[in-house]
Chains A and B, each alone.
Chain A
Amino acid sequence: DTGVSQDPRHKITKRGQNVTFRCDPISEHNRLYWYRQTLGQGPEFLTYFQNEAQLEKSRLLSDRFSAERPKGSFSTLEIQRTEQGDSAMYLCASSLAGTSGANVLTFGAGSRLTVL
């Protein structure tokens, strides 16, 4: 296991199209997080899962955004009817809850979205 993997690394799309990002966490990690980062800003929390349950969603996650983690392993983040304001880096992170490892998130390299 080489860490948290995200795909695609870069997506360019036209306004109004749907896009989907995938995150594969570290295999033994039961928590998975999605963050969004725009240029010059720190990452902003979007949502997180423990196993397959989505435990918290930020108000940033509008109804055009949906995240799933159907089997408690990989996760997808879908953005419908993309807008130019959705252009950002979408970061995924995972951690192991229930031990001291719950405190340490391991981040993926991110998926950069450009909406034209």
Chain B
Amino acid sequence: KQEVTQIPAALSVPEGENLVLNCSFTDSAIYNLQWFRQDPGKGLTSLLLIQSSQREQTSGRLNASLDKSSGRSTLYIAASQPGDSATYLCAVRSNSGNTPLVFGKGTRLSVIA
């Protein structure tokens, strides 16, 4: 059974810092990995999707990497801003595109102005 772990559970940084969020998964036979953002009391917004054959994806100040063999992904946020404050969730899809996403518990990020 696939399990996804995110470290740290919470993180507080001053504005302008670069930061890294970590995600690990137990079964390396994944189809793809997705990072989401969730604001308090709201739904999920997809940030980046990495296919199993890819090593990284970039969108603006966000960069996600994938090391399938070690079961790890990182989300790098450059020049953090208070508007980046949210919970960041990592989710993996195993084996094929027909299996449901398995989520980690998330990292709650606070960027202090």
- Count residues on chain A whose CB falls below 8 Å from chain B CBs: 26
Q: Flag whether A109 is at the interface (Cβ < 8 A).
A: yes
With a CB–CB cut-off of 8 A, which chain B residues contact A108? 43
The reply to whether B43 and A42 contact each other, CB–CB distance below 8 Å, is no
CB distance from B46 to the nearest CB of A (A): 6
* Interface members, chain B 71-113 (any A CB < 8 Å): 89, 91, 93, 97-98, 100-106
Q: By DSSP majority rule, is chain B's interface helix, strand, loop, or mixed? A: strand
- In the complex, chain B residues whose CB is within 8 Å of the CB of A93: 44
B21 in the interface (beta carbon within 8 A): no
Q: Could you tell me if A56 and B100 are in contact, using CB atoms closer than 8 angstroms?
A: yes
Partner of B103, one of A4, A40, A44, A103: A44
Q: Decide: A110 near B103, CB < 8 A? Known: A42-B4, A103-B51.
A: no
Chain A, range 74-116, C-beta contacts under 8 Å to B: 91, 93, 97, 102-110, 112
B interface size (C-beta, 8 A): 25
Contact A112 B41 (CB under 8 A): yes
- Which of A91, A106, A112 contacts B46, CB < 8 Å? A106
Q: Distance in Å from the Cβ of B11 to the closest Cβ of chain A?
A: 15
**Interface membership of B42, Cβ < 8 A:** yes
Given A42-B4, A42-B89, A42-B106, verify A105-B101 contact (CB < 8 Å): yes
Kindly provide the distance from the CB of B16 to the nearest chain A CB, expressed in whole angstroms: 28
> In residues 1-58 of chain A, which contact B (Cβ within 8 Å)?
4, 6, 33, 40-45, 48, 55-56, 58
Nearest-neighbour CB distance to chain A for B101, whole angstroms, equals 7
On A, residues with C-beta under 8 Å from B are 4, 6, 33, 40-45, 48, 55-56, 58, 91, 93, 97, 102-110, 112
Q: Given A41-B105, A42-B106, list of 11 further CB < 8 A pairs? A: A6-B43, A43-B89, A43-B91, A58-B100, A91-B43, A93-B44, A103-B49, A103-B51, A106-B46, A107-B45, A107-B46
